[in-house]
Amino acid sequence: MPMTFTRWTREELEEQFVHYQQMALEAGQTGNWDKWCDIFTLDCTYIEAQAGMIGGREGLKRLYRNIFTTFPARHFIYSPVEWYMIDEFRGWVSCRFNVRMSDPGDGSIHEEYCFSLLKYAGNGLWSHEEDLYNPTKLMSMVDRWIAAKKKVDPSWDPSQEVGGDPYRTTEG
């Protein structure tokens, strides 16, 4: 039987995935995603359902600064992982997590699932992430969040948020 080779132990992959989640939680809470981006290699690839493929850590930082400082993504504050699988041989982690929005003021939870594939590069860095989700379902979640927010605060208007109303198609 051929001998298999793996560069990383399951323990290292587990530890780094926990760190990845901790950094994502901190970024979601503070709105500063730079430290989270720093756990990716300089030449990483990131594939996002709507943004497409982004190359490099600096490109990832630009994307996250643009997306997560505007409405509605600036309200995506928490991504609890439901389950994950580790492929020790490849150094891959696949998971399903929920994109959860901030409390609209009534205590309700608004979240939608996303599948992610992470590829570990060693030394605490990830070289690849691909996120798969249904954009229609994500925007439906945002609709429910908006309705809940308006019920709590009828004067609240998404067009006053940084980035404006995601459904607005005309100026003025």
The DSSP-derived string for 36-92 is HHTTEEEEEEEEETTTEEEESHHHHHHHHHHHTTSTTGGGEEE--EEEEEEETTTTE
Decide if 158 is inside a domain. Answer: no
- The pTM of the full predicted model, rounded to 2 decimals, is 0.87
The CA distance from 80 to 22, in Å, is: 10
pLDDT at residue 172, as a whole number: 40
Any idea what the CATH number is for the domain that residue 24 is in?
3.10.450.50
Decide if 38 is inside a domain. Answer: yes
Decide if 27 is inside a domain. Answer: yes
Full domain range(s) for residue 145: 10-150
Binned average pLDDT, 10 residues per bin, the chain of 172 residues: 70 98 95 96 94 94 90 93 96 97 97 98 97 95 96 91 58 43
Decide if 172 is inside a domain. Answer: no
pLDDT at residue 171, as a whole number: 46
Written as six digits, the tokens of 34 are 């730079």
Q: How many domains does the chain have?
A: 1
Decide if 77 is inside a domain. Answer: yes
The CA distance from 117 to 128, in Å, is: 8
Please provide residue 50's backbone torsions phi and psi, each rounded to the nearest 5 degrees. Answer: -105, -35
Decide if 141 is inside a domain. Answer: yes
